Amino acid sequence: MDTKQGPHPGNERIPVEIVGCEEKDSPTQKVISTARELYCTNLHQCKADQKSSEKAYERAVRLYRKKKKLFEWTENNYRLYRNFDICLDNQLTTGNASLTANVKTYSTLSTALYTTLKQVVAGITDLKTKVSALRDQASNLDNYKNDQANATQWSLLTGKSMDNCKPENEGHHHRERPEACKDADLIYLDLIHVPKKVLVFDVDSLLQSAQDTVGIQTFTNIDILTTQQTALSAASTALVTQVTTALKARTADLVTTQADLVTAVQECTSAGVDRYNKTSICDGAHHTVEFLCCPDCKCVRPWEKDPHHPVLVDCECRICHICECVKNTYPPEERPEEDCGCK
């Protein structure tokens, strides 16, 4: 075997210079060589296992990252539908219930208002009939006043003479008249002109305004809100159903992607632990082969100095030191019950 050995492929380490290592043709060397061949073969297998575990870990990491992105996207999509369901769906349902009740109230009020307006129109129509009769009576009063045959009665009633006719007794209108009769001619003229020139036109305006109001109230067609509200409720129910169905689907997707992510995390962790384990085994195999290439315990005392002194005492002490290091690695409650044998 070559007396110089560099770094083992796949394990970055400082090159080890093996100088003066000579293999002897002895039974011990033959046992060492046989063991070395076994560990060399094992080392090649360990290297292959290490590379395989590294690739498996890389694949697990890539898969985990993809699963994580898919989960985050699915979770965000689920949140959108969840918030949509919590806010809009409930607002639509509650709002439609309130609007339905309000529209019913509006329709009742509209019907009552229409009935009242029709009663007002009927009352104004009746008033117009009476105003027309009053106008006819005012015309009769006007004709009576303009009739020359009634000049004397006019003079007696008002204390004034007609322009085209003077009564025989011209001085009777100079008599003192009661206070209530001083403006009798003006009152008489009001009884003629107010019905003919005021009330007739005002009652026509009042009747036209009432009929226009009825027309406006009818044109608003409050009842159509009932149809529109029914259509809105149906559309809202369909939207709520669609959102609820989508939310259930997104919830199922979220559960599935979460389970996939958990599996990916477990596989990635297992692959990482396996990679570390395979690396540790390969490193141990490398050190074993490295030692068997030129075994030197460095604790065996040479026989030349004192051939009657034990040569393996120092090796025992070194092994005992290793035992103490191992014991100190574990906390007292986790140490094995059996001692390692060091004293």
Q: What is the pLDDT along the chain (343 residues), one digit of tens a residue?
A: 333 344 333 344 433 444 456 666 667 667 777 777 777 888 888 888 889 999 999 999 999 999 999 999 999 999 999 998 888 888 888 888 888 888 888 888 888 888 999 999 999 999 999 999 999 998 888 888 887 887 778 777 777 776 544 554 554 445 666 777 777 888 888 888 898 889 999 999 999 999 998 888 888 778 788 888 888 888 888 988 898 999 999 999 999 999 999 999 999 999 999 999 988 888 888 887 777 776 666 777 666 666 777 777 777 888 888 888 877 777 766 665 555 555 5
**Which residues does residue 165 pair with via DSSP β-bridges, in sequence order?**
162
Q: What is the CA radius of gyration of the chain?
A: 60
| 14 is a domain residue | no
Structural tokens at position 72: 């985050």
Output the CA torsion sign for 225, 228, 230, 236.
negative
Domain count of the fold of the chain: 2
Q: Which of 122, 98, 102, 97 is nearest to 222 (CA)?
A: 102
Per the listing, tokens 């000049």 go with: 151
**pTM of whole model > 0.75?**
no
| 197 is a domain residue | yes
Do 330 and 191 lie in one domain? The reply is no
Spatial contact of 279 and 50, defined as CB atoms under 8 Å apart: yes
| CA–CA gap between residue 299 and residue 19 (Å, rounded) | 18
Do 311 and 228 lie in one domain? The reply is no
| CA–CA gap between residue 35 and residue 29 (Å, rounded) | 10
Do 342 and 212 lie in one domain? The reply is no
Query: CA 13, 18, 20 angle in degrees (round to 5)?
Result: 175
Model pLDDT, residue 95 = 87
Model pLDDT, residue 75 = 94
Q: Which of 281, 296, 311 is the last residue of a domain?
A: 296
Do 263 and 304 lie in one domain? The reply is no
Q: Which of 9, 32, 84, 14 is nearest to 297 (CA)?
A: 32
Do 267 and 336 lie in one domain? The reply is no
Do 91 and 118 lie in one domain? The reply is yes
Do 135 and 251 lie in one domain? The reply is yes
| 52 is a domain residue | yes
Q: Which domain holds residue 47?
A: 27-296
| 117 is a domain residue | yes
CA distances to 114, 216, 219, 224 from 212, rounded to whole Å, are 12, 6, 10, 20
| 34 is a domain residue | yes
| CA–CA gap between residue 318 and residue 324 (Å, rounded) | 10
Do 169 and 312 lie in one domain? The reply is no
Do 275 and 309 lie in one domain? The reply is no
Do 283 and 332 lie in one domain? The reply is no
| 259 is a domain residue | yes
| 97 is a domain residue | yes
| 279 is a domain residue | yes
Do 148 and 185 lie in one domain? The reply is yes
Spatial contact of 164 and 148, defined as CB atoms under 8 Å apart: yes
Structural tokens at position 82: 């969840």
Do 268 and 326 lie in one domain? The reply is no
